[in-house]
Amino acid sequence: MTSKKLVNSVAGCADDALAGLVACNPNLQLLQGHRVALRFDLDSLKGRVALLSGGGSGHEPAHAGFIGKGMLTGIIAGAVFASPAVGSILAAIRAVAQAGTAGTLLIVKNYTGDRLNFGLAREQAQAEGIPVEMVVIGDDCAFTVVKKAGRRGLCGVVLIHKIAGALAEAGVPLKEIKDRVSVAAKAMGTLGLSLSSCSVPGSRPNFELAADEVELGLGIHGEAGVRRMKMAPADEIVRLMLDHMTNTSNVSHVSVQAGSSVVLVVNNLGGLSVLELGIVADAAIRTLESRGVKVARALVGTFMSALEMPGLSLTLLLVDESRLKLIDAETTASAWPHMPKVSVTGQKRIRPAPAHPTEAPDITVEGLSSKRMVLVLEQVCATLLDMEEYLNTLDRVSGDGDCGTTHSRAARAIQEWLRESPPPAHPAKLLSQLSLLLLDKMGGSSGALYGLFLTAAAQPLKASTDLPAWSAAMDAGLEAMRKYGKAAPGDRTMLDSLWAAGQELQALRNPQANLFHILTKAVESAEAAAQATKNMTAGAGRASYISSTKLDEPDPGAVATAAILRSILQVLKNLESE
């Protein structure tokens, strides 16, 4: 079965993609009759060297995204993963020559079809009297022995575009640009890694990997790498990649060692999430710096993809000050990242957190003690940990299945907090500190809602801790949840069970109130309200996006809050009977 692709037609997808890029970028033009994109301001290049590159489509944003002042003059695109036509390459060369440029440099990735077609176009252009030079870039670090075909061209060619573009913009002559980028290419290496395959429009995936496998050293068209290995943590994968790239016994290694200064490129092969890319970038910088390598600049993003392949490549370019200035030179190319012109290594990456406000000394409140607080919190934590899988199961019906995990994370955070020091005895201070803890550690909307509830509930208890104050605290917490969470009773949320309990706790305002009788009724009402949510139509939260006919289980948040109230009542009753 072929993979799904959002295209108009398989045959026309490369043309449509290039047309879309040009349509959105007024600085580009298509060359009529050819799959060629050129700078709109060709006439401004008179007397300077033109830079042309290209290759198969499917590697976007390469190469058209790198057209602009300070980078490429134009590109020639082939069909997906296919070399461009000789006639189109020659037409591009003629177009820039007719604009009065001082010669053309063809920047070609080292693949047989690209070498042949660009090379033939160059020969024909030279026969017409057009000065044309060509550099073939091979930056692949995968193979440990010499291959007749040489090193494959990978993401490193983008850095060559940048260096050549800066030189051309400065008016450097053709031969010098060719010589300098050729030297730079020898100081560069790239290694790719894939979690699974990609597929050309209209075709099946071009290789398969087991669920627990990754492939090291593959090419940008899905060509085989040097080995398959078991999936591992990102830190370990990155360390292995950098080891392979810099191993001096590897004939295709890049000579990076302690004291070297490098430009690092962390490139998305198309289907890796931005989250994963950030993790890889962090691992790469930490690993290089731990080896005494200075990361002068770091480019992180999608620069040369392989359609939707979930994978990445790492590129290292050795730099000195003169080469770094070329990397830093201004460009209008849309796909080149705007990065600070300062070294990555040596920057202070962490700002100290602001100090917490000074708190008043803790005061023991009559009828309460730190020990009692600990017993209550320990029971609540034990209950939530026991309910983790049950709450996750309930949440899979209406959410992302992590309600139990989120509550367990909160429980473990509270347990760790209790181990560090006794909790405050004063209820207001206790609730305030629990609020900060859950906001920091629990995460998700549940953490925010609990934080809101506890912060608001703490305020009435600052002035008094008698029974009416506890009723007022419940009211304040519920009002905060309604105000910011936008839920109301009956919306099938955690508010339903808390609201039911809150209505019963109104009785605490009566001077003759029986605490345990009222608490028991409050807990029973909360539990009944939690079960009643299975018959409600969701009016807030993720469940509100799901048909009510599919919601045949109670809301997990309501079940969790009812269980918390039951745990509190249980401990208080046990303490009363002692």
Q: Which residues are catalytic?
A: 221
Q: Is the peptide bond before 201 cis (omega within 30 degrees of 0)?
A: no
Supply angle C-alpha 279, 282, 283, rounded to 5. Answer: 85
Dihedral sign computed on CA atoms, order 537, 543, 544, 549: negative
CB of 157 closer than 8 Å to CB of 139: yes
CA–CA dist 131, 123 (Å, integer): 10
CA–CA dist 121, 278 (Å, integer): 41
| Residues comprising the chain, all counted | 578
Q: Is 58 annotated as a binding residue?
A: yes
Q: Is 491 annotated as a binding residue?
A: no
Q: Is 109 annotated as a binding residue?
A: yes
Spatial CB neighbours of 314, under 8 Å, sequence gap ≥ 6: 190, 191, 238, 241, 242, 245, 264, 265, 266, 267, 280, 284
CA–CA dist 83, 153 (Å, integer): 13
Strand partners, 108: 136
**Count of C-beta atoms within a 10 Å radius of residue 293:** 23
Spatial CB neighbours of 370, under 8 Å, sequence gap ≥ 6: 364, 422, 423, 424, 425
In 3D, which of 295, 291, 288 has the Cα closest to residue 261? 295
At residue 230, the 3 state secondary structure works out as: strand
Tokens describing residue 375: 């017993």
Annotated binding site for substrate: 56-59, 109, 114
Binding-site annotation: residue ranges: 56-59, 109, 114
